[in-house]
């Protein structure tokens, strides 16, 4: 089935959705986005995604966006289609205006796009079992990586390098310190600790990482803030990617160097099992919206 889109409130086939050439998202990358996972027609960790969306809009000084109306539009789009296992893509631009670097004055209405697509998890599920290869790349992105902007050229170039080297992902290194991956959060295990780069301007606050923190704590492995060089990462017991569609994905080699024993480790397996259990329990309890809320 062809994906459906909702463009500024109008539902139509995605292929028919058109945006002006004067849209600031097209001209400047002046836009932010979110991607949420659908399990059985429900949006997983919806509240975390909307909190990050709200923060990105605020940090980029966007005019007011009615997120309640956006949720209503997502609901209408879900009802109009047949996607049960898929993704919800949201993009908000600063709107259509003459091409000037300064913000439109007075402000114009933001352009709001929602697209719902089906997602086949089978190929990724196989990768979760085997683990994946990664390479390292210099982190060339702008300095506000904590905002989920569509300015992704640095990510694209690094991921293309991974693709050309037959690797799944590129792990980014800034001034000798590992930050994250091109479209995944990064975790590692050393000396019995599960660690990740502390949140801040250096990395995007990963929604799956945030949701997974409850699983990890339940497994007696709270995610601790830490910093690691590439050399130290290569010596880690385990390296793990997390993301909306990949969920919990072990890395078994970086730059051709075997990680751990060259196969998914015990921490990754525990997190995978805990994650799937959390999703199953959430789906079995329709009244629960925010699974990550304190119990």
| pLDDT tens, position by position, 215-229 | 999 989 999 999 999
What is the token pair recorded at 43?
A: 């949006």
What is the token pair recorded at 103?
A: 């913000």
- CA 151 to CA 148: how far, in whole Å? 8
Q: Which residue has the tokens 């990949």?
A: 246
- Per the residue annotation, which of 18, 143, 148, 166 is the catalytic one? 148
> How confident is the model over 142-172, as pLDDT tens digits?
999 999 999 999 999 999 999 999 999 999 9
> How confident is the model over 89-125, as pLDDT tens digits?
999 999 999 999 999 999 999 999 999 999 999 999 9
The predicted pLDDT at position 292 comes to 74
What is the token pair recorded at 173?
A: 């290194």
The predicted pLDDT at position 295 comes to 53
Query: Is 143 one of the annotated active-site residues of the chain?
Result: no
Quote the percentage of the chain above a pLDDT of 90. 94
Residue 47: Cβ within 10 Å count: 15
- CA 28 to CA 255: how far, in whole Å? 34
CA dihedral 138, 141, 144, 149 (to 10 degrees): -140
Pair 243, 184: CB distance under 8 Å: yes
Domains of the chain, start order: 4-119 (3.30.470.10), 124-282 (3.20.10.10)
> How confident is the model over 18-75, as pLDDT tens digits?
999 999 999 999 999 999 999 999 999 999 999 999 999 999 999 989 999 999 999 9
- State yes or no: pLDDT of 294 exceeds 70: no
pTM: 0.95
The predicted pLDDT at position 290 comes to 74
């Amino acid at each position: 089935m062809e994906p459906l889109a909702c463009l500024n409130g109008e539902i139509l086939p995605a292929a028919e959705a058109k945006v002006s050439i004067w849209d600031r998202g097209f001209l400047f990358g002046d836009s932010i986005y979110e991607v949420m996972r659908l399990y059985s027609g429900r949006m997983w960790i919806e509240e975390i995604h909307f909190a990050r969306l709200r923060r990105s809009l605020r940090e980029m000084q966007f005019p007011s966006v009615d997120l309640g109306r956006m949720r209503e539009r997502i609901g209408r789009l879900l009802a109009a289609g047949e996607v049960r296992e898929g993704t919800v893509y949201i993009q908000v631009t600063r709107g259509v205006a003459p091409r000037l670097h300064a913000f439109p004055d007075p402000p114009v209405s933001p352009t709001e796009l929602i697209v719902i697509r089906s997602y086949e998890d089978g190929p990724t599920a196989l990768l979760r079992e085997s683990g994946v290869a990664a390479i390292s790349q210099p982190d060339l992105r702008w300095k506000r990586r904590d905002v989920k902007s569509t300015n992704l050229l640095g990510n694209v170039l690094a991921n293309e390098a991974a693709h050309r080297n037959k690797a799944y992902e590129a792990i980014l290194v800034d001034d000798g310190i590992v930050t994250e991956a091109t479209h995944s959060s990064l975790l590692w295990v050393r000396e019995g600790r599960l660690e990740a780069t502390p949140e801040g301007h250096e990395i995007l606050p990963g929604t799956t990482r945030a949701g997974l923190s409850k699983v990890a704590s339940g497994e007696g492995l709270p995610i601790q803030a830490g910093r690691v060089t590439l050399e130290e990462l290569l010596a880690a017991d385990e390296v793990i990617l997390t993301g909306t569609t990949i969920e919990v994905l072990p890395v078994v080699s970086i730059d051709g160097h075997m990680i751990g024993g060259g196969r998914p480790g015990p921490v990754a397996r525990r997190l995978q099992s805990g994650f799937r259990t959390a999703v199953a329990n959430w789906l079995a309890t329709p009244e629960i919206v925010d699974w990550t809320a304190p119990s």
